[in-house]
Amino acid sequence: MRDGNKQDNTNKDKILSCAQRLFYEKGYDCVGVQEIVDAAGITKPTMYYYFKSKHGLLECLLERGANQLVDGLKQTMRGSGGYQEILYKAVVTYIELAVENKEIYLLIISLFSSARDNEAYIAAKPYLSKLLHVVRSFFMQYANEQEHLKGREDFLAISFTGVINYYLLVYFERGASKEVLLDEEMIQNIVKQFL
């Protein structure tokens, strides 16, 4: 029985890994089920055993990858420290998680830019909403201490994540290493730019 479970996990992980790579390289809409199963070295019935559809496969990828980013950011932004200190830590956490999960991070960003009726956008939207909720909650928490934040929580959450995302997109395009992305001066500049 244990060997069966091990094989199940191996097949499932292989499918997820191949799909993530293909979705990242070509875009969700340009990848067919046959391409995924060929890359994974399995049959379509095997894929459908684990995932009822290509959309179900995407949802599983998003749940794994996006939740890791959301949970990491939530933990950091609920931590102790002053306002600017937590913003600094949040930028570091966000960048670290994006770098560690570059394919899924860039996939999520691309899906959010999809047409609004596209199933990929619909699948990604809840995770982006969770992310903004975490950041918005942080600004709500500090709005009582810093009067200028009151009533601007949504705008601040969008601006904060926007600055980080744009920074990451530009530097990923340039092929920057993790060390460059996490350079202390660069992180300080992101926080200053936001503030």
State pLDDT tens for residues 104-163.
Answer: 999 988 888 888 888 889 999 998 899 999 999 999 888 877 777 788 899 999 999 999
**pLDDT for 22:** 96
Is residue 17 pLDDT above 50, yes or no?
yes
Q: For the segment 39-85, what is each residue's pLDDT rounded down to a tens digit?
A: 999 999 999 999 999 999 999 999 988 889 899 999 999 888 888 99
Is residue 190 pLDDT above 90, yes or no?
yes
pTM, two decimals, is 0.84
Average pLDDT, the chain: 90
Over range 174-189, report the average pLDDT: 91
**pLDDT for 5:** 53
CA-to-CA dists, residue 190 to 56, 61, 154, 178, angstroms: 36, 29, 19, 16
Is residue 1 pLDDT above 50, yes or no?
no
